[in-house]
Every structure is written in structure tokens, then in C-alpha cells.
Amino acid sequence: DIQMTQSPSALSASVGDRITITCRASQDISNSLAWFRQKPGKAPESLIYGASSLQSGVPSRFSGSGSGTDFTLTINSLQPEDFASYYCQHYYVYPFTFGQGTKVEI
């Protein structure tokens, strides 16, 4: 199975900050990478697919980049609803595995 490793596991930030989360795959996954936000006690929400394409309705403060094994999620101007956990997932081959998550705290 392809292992997905995120860093950091947690970070502290303030409203208005710019943050970056990284995700590394254990082998080349091309651009088959998605990002999700999960607010406490809620279902995940889809943010990005294809490493850099925003899902419909996702605010433009979210952006993604990378290909191969190294990927990043950047959030410009953090909003109160962005204090949540973030997960990357590859969909290159089965099984589709997730990273361990990054918790963004105030």
C-alpha cells in the first residue's frame, strides 16, 4: 500500500494567517492527490482534487500544489471555520490511503 505522511501533525495559527501543510507519498502518485477538511464532529469536506484543482464552491483562499511524491496545501488568510483537521488522500492505485491528518488550532 502507498503510505501518505503529513507534516506537521498539528499547528497553531491565528485568523488571517497563511499556513502550509505538506503531504508526502511513499511512491510516485502523479497528481492523484486530494485534500479534505474535517471540522470537529463533522463529516469531511472535499477541498482539492488533482493536487491543485478546487472542488466546486471551495473558497479561493485554498490552493494546492505538487506532483510525484510531494504535495502542499496552502490556506491564505485563515478564517474561523478553517480551524479543523486536514487530510490528504491519494487515488492512484487501490487502496486509496489517507494521511494521518494535520490539526490546525487557534
Contact residues for other proteins, defined by CB under 8 A: 34, 36, 38, 43-46, 49-50, 55-56, 87, 89, 91, 94-101
Residue pair 39/60 in contact by the 8 Å Cβ criterion: no
In the bound state with other proteins, the residue whose beta carbon lies nearer, of 82 and 89, is: 89
Nearest partner of 21 among 71, 89, 58, 84, judged by Cα: 71
Minimum CB separation of residue 56 from other proteins in Å reads 8
In the bound state with other proteins, the residue whose beta carbon lies nearer, of 63 and 100, is: 100
Minimum CB separation of residue 71 from other proteins in Å reads 13
